């Protein structure tokens, strides 16, 4: 067989899944319709903070078509009024004592149709006694702040945690010895993943067998099954979670939401399938928000080199501490904040506070608060360059971790696997034509035009585990792959992760193609059904390629080893005499004596050597030795309008290094999506609240997402620095551009105004803010 036909790693194989998506043949949760299915709708709190005196459901229950009205009291009878969060806190499923954020779930109606259920919501009478709302973490930590979590034993204030990382003493010393200290105070505002498909489920508990099948929008079906078993006390082997096609997750579908729990409880109590489909406002006001991080950073600089980094953080966690993150790290992996720079000493102090806002935490293409860390360090480095009067690109070059320093241990304890930061930076500057552009900027300024050039050279940490240090709710972060090759040489690969649009059906088949020589079209990839796939922790933190991708490569190699034994038997030679060329074994020195992997697969079921087990299949659980550390340099050019404060993106150059690329087209798609999200966050995405805790940003008129109209064009470039510990050298890429790019956009707008003393602009950088800065700098026209 000609090896060129096997499109393994490095080929832009067209996405197999698109055949059904572009024909409207996807199968999403809302497409699932079961006989006798009922519909559930949630009543949400209009208040951010209020005591519930009583709930009268009688009028709602009397509406024809209503089957049941569920309140927290009923849930409490089944011990389900509260559930654990991913950070070991508790979260109300349906409120009993108080509501703690606007949009909180208060009651649910189960009815024959969605319309009846929605109508009945208006007939539920809740007697609320409004309480003062706490809407910022600063306010939350004041001595006389209203206590939000008064139901928690021993909780006397609104503080959730205090956490520190790094070496305080060494950092203090670096600052004492510094010849320059640069500081920046900034806020990464609350934003939302906003996948096209909102959350939802169809819960189907069979009263006869006790089996519970829950079709749900889940990025982590296996972990969710375990949590369901623990929360609901259902036997785990009787729970089946099916995560069908997902219309985008972006982190929004990592947590367990009250809707899933209430629908499952309702199905259990009523003996009929119950569907809950969230609407857009419900999604925006109550589910997995992101960021909301107040940050202060300080750099110690001596002789042009960064010698120390100090950060203090204040996290607004909303009413329930629900961050999805390894339990060891209270501020996620924020302590990667030293970024791409060789900073000998660093110290991080983080505090978290409850507020009367929706819970969430780390979701939205974040890899565990790395987004916030990356933003802070890239804004800080830019600020330092201005203060020192050096070119921001040059300052970065001077302070990068050098290629020969890898593996590099950061001051906060991460072991960076590999990197070549100067190479990515050089390529980006080359593509940009940096030197010419600097001159043009200078000339434009003389004509009164404001051009800005912004750079961000990010480093990420993705691919959680290893299991020793990384877990979700105690579950070690490994992942798995099960590969079965059928007699005719066609294969099924089952994975513990769950694609939400990332193209796993294509890329994971390509890994098998590379390692086992079966072309990708002959490898069917299955994910998302806990009955049908090996246990895994799911898809988030760009961990599918680093972990499940590694598992896929390892199991493919194991099968190849067995195939070699069978091939030796077929070719009547010894294994040592065989040479593997993708897709076939040859006898050394006799290239005409060969057998294909397909022939071997057939023999695995028909013609085996003595003592060899039949079949060609296996499963591998992979616990990665380390995370992977993708990186890159993004550069953005903007022009600011001095008459209005509007800014337009002229160019975006993005050089990414995610190690070996399995499917370059898919990787580029991931990067473009992330650059678009980064632009949205930098320019327009904002969920905010008034003093009463009313959420502003509850629909797409108020919460702005960039459309094709606003989205800039992207010029992409790549460097390849393989991960030394990953079997195929790949690093994750699914979040890089969302993590790395916001700072590049903001740096660009600041750069346009920097010569007049402007150092900071807060996201989203709206024209109002730029206009105010222009006025402050005396540049407004």
Backbone angles phi, psi at 463, to 5 degrees: 100, 40
Element (H, E) at 230: helix 221-232
* Least distance between ligand MCN and beta carbon 246 (Å): 7
319-358 mask for ligand CUN (x: CB under 6 A)?
A: ----------------------------------------
Active site (annotated) includes residue 366: yes
Among 124, 363, 649, 681, indicate the residue that binds ligand CUN (CB under 6 A): 363
Classify 641 as helix, strand or coil: coil
Q: Is 625 left (phi over 0), alpha (psi -120 to 50) or beta?
A: alpha
> Measured between alpha carbons, how far is 324 from 249 in angstroms, rounded to an integer?
14
Q: Is the peptide bond before 315 cis (omega within 30 degrees of 0)?
A: no
Residue placing its CB nearer to ligand MCN in the complex, 87 or 499: 499
Residue 331: count other Cβ atoms within 10 Å of its Cβ.
27
> Measured between alpha carbons, how far is 45 from 95 in angstroms, rounded to an integer?
9
201-220 mask for ligand CUN (x: CB under 6 A)?
A: ------------------x-
**From the list ligand CUN, ligand MCN, none, partner contacted by residue 254 (C-beta under 5 to 8 A by kind):** ligand CUN
Judged by CB under 6 A, which stretch of 245-253, 599-607, 679-687, 716-724 contacts ligand CUN?
A: 245-253
DSSP string of 60-126, one letter each residue: HHHSTTEEEEEEHHHHHHTT-SEEE-TTS-EEESS-SSEE-STT-EEEEEEESSHHHHHHHHTT-EE
- Residue 289 as a binder of ligand MCN (CB under 6 A): the answer is no
Residue placing its CB nearer to ligand MCN in the complex, 675 or 730: 730
> Interaction with ligand MCN in 192-221: which residues (CB under 6 A)?
195
Q: 38, 270 in Cβ contact below 8 A? A: yes
- Cα–Cα distances in angstroms (integers) from residue 321 to residues 154, 267, 594, in the given order: 16, 28, 60
Element (H, E) at 475: strand 475-476
Residue placing its CB nearer to ligand MCN in the complex, 135 or 459: 459
**From the list ligand CUN, ligand MCN, none, partner contacted by residue 658 (C-beta under 5 to 8 A by kind):** ligand MCN
250-289 mask for ligand CUN (x: CB under 6 A)?
A: xx--x-----------------------------------
> Interaction with ligand MCN in 539-558: which residues (CB under 6 A)?
539-545
> Interaction with ligand CUN in 533-592: which residues (CB under 6 A)?
540-541
Query: Which of 3, 22, 7, 9 has the alpha carbon at shortest distance from 522?
Result: 7
Among 189, 200, 503, 712, indicate the residue that binds ligand MCN (CB under 6 A): 503
Q: Out of 191, 198, 201, 366, which one is annotated catalytic? A: 366
Q: Out of 7, 149, 365, 498, which one is annotated catalytic? A: 365
> Interaction with ligand MCN in 649-708: which residues (CB under 6 A)?
658-663, 666-667, 670, 673
Question: What DSSP designation does 551 have?
Answer: H
Residue placing its CB nearer to ligand CUN in the complex, 364 or 771: 364
Crossing angle of helices 392-399/370-388, nearest 10°? 110
Residue 179: count other Cβ atoms within 10 Å of its Cβ.
11
Among 249, 326, 352, 706, indicate the residue that binds ligand CUN (CB under 6 A): 249
- Three-state SS string over 115-168 comes to HHHHHHHCCCEEEEEECCCCCCHHHHCCCCCCCCCCCCCCCCCCEEEEEEEECH
Q: Mark out the alpha helices in 470-571 (DSSP H runs).
A: 504-516, 550-570
Residue placing its CB nearer to ligand CUN in the complex, 1 or 705: 705
Residue placing its CB nearer to ligand MCN in the complex, 171 or 542: 542
- Residue 373 as a binder of ligand CUN (CB under 6 A): the answer is no
Q: 212, 238 in Cβ contact below 8 A? A: yes
Active site (annotated) includes residue 442: no
Residue 656 neighbours by CB under 8 Å, 6+ apart: 424, 630, 631, 632, 667, 671, 716, 717, 718, 733, 736, 737
731-760 mask for ligand MCN (x: CB under 6 A)?
A: xxxxx-------------------------
> Interaction with ligand MCN in 461-500: which residues (CB under 6 A)?
500
> Measured between alpha carbons, how far is 634 from 1 in angstroms, rounded to an integer?
42
> Interaction with ligand CUN in 130-159: which residues (CB under 6 A)?
none
Token pair for 631: 């990186």
- Residue 499 as a binder of ligand CUN (CB under 6 A): the answer is no
Query: Which of 511, 278, 306, 513 has the alpha carbon at shortest distance from 390?
Result: 306
- Residue 291 as a binder of ligand MCN (CB under 6 A): the answer is no
Token pair for 486: 């059928």
* Least distance between ligand MCN and beta carbon 626 (Å): 15
Among 145, 362, 427, 587, indicate the residue that binds ligand CUN (CB under 6 A): 362
Among 365, 466, 560, 731, indicate the residue that binds ligand CUN (CB under 6 A): 365
Judged by CB under 6 A, which stretch of 53-61, 249-257, 334-342, 714-722 contacts ligand MCN?
A: 249-257
Query: Which of 592, 604, 406, 601 has the alpha carbon at shortest distance from 522?
Result: 601
Active site (annotated) includes residue 365: yes
Q: Is 192 left (phi over 0), alpha (psi -120 to 50) or beta?
A: beta
Among 357, 504, 560, 642, indicate the residue that binds ligand MCN (CB under 6 A): 504
* Least distance between ligand CUN and beta carbon 568 (Å): 44
Q: Is the peptide bond before 764 cis (omega within 30 degrees of 0)?
A: yes
* Least distance between ligand MCN and beta carbon 91 (Å): 21
Judged by CB under 6 A, which stretch of 453-461, 474-482, 609-617, 730-738 contacts ligand MCN?
A: 730-738
Active site (annotated) includes residue 500: no
Residues recognised as catalytic: 219, 365-366, 735
Binding stretches for ligand MCN (CB under 6 A): 195, 248-251, 365, 500-504, 507, 539-545, 658-663, 666-667, 670, 673, 730-735
């Amino acid at each position: 067989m000609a090896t060129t036909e096997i499109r393994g790693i490095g080929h832009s194989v067209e996405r197999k899944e698109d055949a059904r998506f572009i024909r409207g043949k996807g199968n999403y949760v809302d497409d699932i319709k079961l006989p006798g299915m009922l519909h559930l709708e949630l009543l949400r709190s209009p208040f951010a903070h209020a005591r519930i005196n009583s709930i009268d459901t009688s009028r709602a229950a009397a509406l024809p078509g209503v089957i049941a009205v569920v309140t927290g009291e009923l849930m409490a009878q089944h011990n389900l009024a509260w559930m654990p969060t991913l950070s070991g806190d508790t979260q109300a499923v349906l409120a009993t004592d108080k509501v703690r954020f606007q949009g909180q779930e208060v009651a649910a109606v189960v009815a024959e149709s969605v319309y009846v259920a929605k109508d009945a919501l208006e007939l539920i009478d809740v007697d609320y006694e409004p309480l003062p709302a706490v809407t910022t973490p600063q306010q939350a930590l004041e001595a006389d702040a209203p206590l939000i979590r008064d139901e928690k034993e021993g909780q006397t204030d609104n503080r959730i945690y205090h956490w520190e990382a790094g070496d305080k003493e060494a950092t203090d010393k670096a600052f004492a010895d510094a010849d320059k200290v640069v500081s920046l105070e900034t806020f990464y505002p609350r934003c939302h993943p906003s996948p096209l498909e909102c959350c939802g489920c169809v819960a189907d508990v069979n009263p006869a067998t006790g089996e519970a099948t829950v079709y749900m929008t889940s990025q982590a079906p296996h972990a969710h099954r375990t949590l369901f078993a623990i929360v609901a006390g259902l036997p785990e082997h009787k729970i089946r979670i099916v995560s069908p096609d997902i219309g985008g997750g972006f982190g929004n579908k990592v947590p367990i939401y009250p809707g899933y729990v209430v629908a499952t409880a309702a199905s259990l109590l009523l003996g009929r399938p119950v569907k809950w489909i969230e609407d857009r406002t419900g999604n925006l006001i109550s589910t997995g928000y992101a960021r909301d991080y107040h940050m202060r950073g300080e750099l110690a600089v001596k002789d042009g080199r960064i010698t120390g980094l100090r950060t203090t953080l204040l996290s607004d966690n909303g009413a329930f501490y629900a961050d999805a993150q390894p339990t060891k790290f209270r501020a996620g992996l924020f302590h990667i904040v030293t970024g791409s720079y060789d900073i000998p000493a660093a110290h991080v102090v983080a505090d978290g506070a409850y507020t009367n806002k929706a819970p969430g935490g780390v979701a939205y293409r974040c890899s565990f608060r790395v987004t916030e860390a990356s933003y802070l360090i890239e804004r800080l480095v830019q600020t330092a360059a201005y203060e020192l009067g050096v070119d921001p690109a040059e300052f970065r070059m001077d302070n990068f971790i050098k290629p020969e320093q890898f593996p590099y241990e950061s001051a906060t304890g991460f072991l960076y696997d590999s990197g070549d930061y100067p190479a990515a930076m050089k390529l980006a500057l080359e593509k940009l034509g940096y030197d010419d552009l600097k001159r043009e900027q200078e000339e434009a300024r003389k004509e009164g035009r404001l051009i800005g050039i912004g750079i961000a050279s990010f480093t990420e940490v993705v691919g959680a585990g290893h299991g020793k240090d990384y877990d979700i709710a105690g579950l070690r972060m490994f992942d798995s792959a099960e590969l079965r090759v059928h007699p005719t040489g066609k294969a099924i690969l089952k994975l513990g992760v769950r694609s939400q649009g990332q193209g796993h059906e294509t890329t994971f088949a390509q890994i098998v193609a590379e390692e086992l020589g079966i072309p990708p079209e002959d490898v069917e990839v299955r994910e998302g059904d806990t009955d049908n796939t090996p246990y895994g922790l799911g898809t988030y933190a760009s961990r599918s390629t680093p972990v499940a991708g590694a598992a896929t490569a390892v199991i493919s190699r194991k099968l190849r080893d067995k195939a070699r034994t069978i091939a030796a038997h077929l070719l009547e030679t010894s294994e040592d005499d065989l040479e593997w060329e993708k897709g076939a074994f040859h006898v050394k020195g006799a290239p005409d004596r060969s057998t294909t992997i397909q022939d071997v697969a057939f023999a695995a079921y028909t013609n085996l050597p003595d003592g060899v087990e039949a079949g060609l299949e296996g499963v591998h659980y992979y616990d990665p030795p380390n995370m992977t550390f993708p990186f890159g340099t993004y550069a953005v050019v903007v022009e600011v309008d001095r008459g209005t404060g509007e800014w337009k993106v002229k160019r975006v150059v993005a050089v990414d290094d995610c190690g070996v690329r399995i499917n370059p087209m898919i990787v580029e798609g991931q990067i473009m999506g992330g650059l678009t999200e980064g632009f949205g966050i930098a320019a327009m995405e904002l969920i905010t609240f008034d003093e009463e805790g009313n959420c502003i940003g509850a629909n797409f008129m108020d919460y702005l997402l960039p459309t094709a109209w606003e989205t800039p064009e992207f010029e992409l470039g790549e460097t390849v620095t393989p991960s030394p510990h990953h079997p195929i050298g790949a690093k994750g890429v699914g979040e890089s551009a969302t993590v790395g790019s916001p700072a590049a956009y903001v740096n660009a707008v600041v750069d346009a105004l920097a010569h007049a003393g402007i150092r900071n602009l807060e996201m989203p950088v709206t024209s109002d803010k730029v206009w105010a800065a222009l006025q402050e700098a005396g540049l407004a026209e």
